[in-house]
Amino acid sequence: MVTSTHEGMHRIFQERPEILAPVFGELGFPLTTKATVDAVTTDVTETRPLERRVDTVLRIAPSDGGDFLLAIEAQSDKKEAKGASWAYYIAYLQAKYRLPVLLLVVCQDRRTARWATGPFDCGTLGWTAQRTYPLVAGPDNLPVITDTRTVANKLALAVLSAVAHVRNPKCGAILEAIGSVLQELQDTDPETVGYFAEFLEINLGDTPAGMKWKEIMSFVSYFPGRGTVRETAYLEGKAEGEAAGRAEGEAKGILFVLEVRGIPVPDSVRERITTCTDLDRMDVWLERSRTVERAEDLFDEDPETPGTGPAAA
């Protein structure tokens, strides 16, 4: 069954190829950081009756030559039939593209990771016709990264590490370091912040680590693409995670919505919005900013009751 966690564990290699060099380094197979990476079709169907798909397939071209294909599979538990499927993927991709093929299996628990290392044999009568040795990334060989400097230098690897060590008591420390780095990146690279924040929320799910992540990123809850007004407040604000930072983000969101709607904002209104620290009140202003006809109407205690608020003065 395909789940969000399953998808995330292999799609991160497509969407964030910078993760390849550090992962290969941890597995003992150094890969030049100057390699180019291109996605390859994952369809390995040869005949109509049987459809087969690899989770992710990448063509890797190191700067010193020696192109190869990397087939990536996310595996959540032990499935005996996978050994035969993986052998087929490797043989098919090698025959189709005339390139060497490596198989990387990403696991979240040690039992599955130990099983996935194989080898998986095909043969009979004491003779092995084919043997498959997957590379496996899991809790035993992905590092526990809790140092913020290391996280900053290897962010994608740290995120994958958090997913792989979801059952490790140290996972909370990994997440705290990641949260600290994402806060630093908010102003300079909000796209990366949004991607990894949501990636972890989806892949950690309702686990204790997932609850810890929601706590760490309690303010960063409005991700790109959802189209909410509060998302705008988040993207426009500084998102520092404390009351003052959240208030500043809300203020920028309110002013941004008014600006987009073409509503003039007098200096007195702007000052009142930007100096307010009452987050509940600012939530109300943010919602009203979508419908008010004048900026001053944000402050009406009850817009439907005549004679109240600044607008009636």
Q: What pLDDT is attached to residue 119?
A: 93
Whether the CB-CB separation of 140 and 109 falls below 8 Å is answered with no
**HSE of 103, CA atoms in CB hemisphere, 13 A:** 28
Q: What pLDDT is attached to residue 101?
A: 93
Read off the DSSP letter of residue 121. E
Residue 264 burial (10 A CB sphere; 0-12, 13-18, 19+): exposed
Say if strands 101-107 and 68-75 run parallel, antiparallel, or are unpaired.
parallel
pLDDT tens over the chain, length 313 residues: 344 455 556 667 777 777 777 777 777 767 665 666 666 655 555 544 445 678 888 888 887 788 899 888 888 888 888 889 999 999 999 998 999 999 999 888 889 999 999 899 988 878 888 899 999 988 998 889 999 999 999 998 999 999 889 888 899 999 999 998 988 888 888 888 888 888 888 888 888 888 888 888 764 443 444 443 444 444 454 344 455 667 777 888 888 788 877 888 999 999 999 888 888 888 888 888 888 889 998 888 644 434 434 444 3
Residues 6+ apart with CB under 8 A from 95: none
Whether the CB-CB separation of 279 and 246 falls below 8 Å is answered with yes
* Cβ atoms within 10 Å of 6's Cβ, excluding its own: 18
pLDDT tens by residue, 218-227: 644 434 444 4
Could you list the beta-strand ranges (E) of 111-161.
Answer: 120-124, 127-132, 135-137
Helix, strand, coil distribution of the chain in percent, nearest 5: 50, 15, 35
Q: What pLDDT is attached to residue 57?
A: 87
Q: What pLDDT is attached to residue 150?
A: 93
Q: What is the pTM of this model?
A: 0.56
| Best CA proximity match to 109, nearest among 67, 70, 142, 153 | 142
Token readout for 74 is 């996310």
Q: What pLDDT is attached to residue 247?
A: 76
Read off the DSSP letter of residue 278. -
Say if strands 101-107 and 120-124 run parallel, antiparallel, or are unpaired.
unpaired
Long-range contacts at 16-21 (CB < 8 A, ≥ 24 apart): 16/156, 16/195, 17/58, 18/156, 19/156, 19/157, 19/160, 20/58, 20/60, 20/70
Q: What pLDDT is attached to residue 32?
A: 64
Q: What pLDDT is attached to residue 115?
A: 94
Three-state SS at 76: coil
pLDDT tens by residue, 4-49: 455 556 667 777 777 777 777 777 767 665 666 666 655 555 544 4
Q: What pLDDT is attached to residue 187?
A: 80
Q: What pLDDT is attached to residue 241?
A: 47
Q: What pLDDT is attached to residue 33?
A: 57
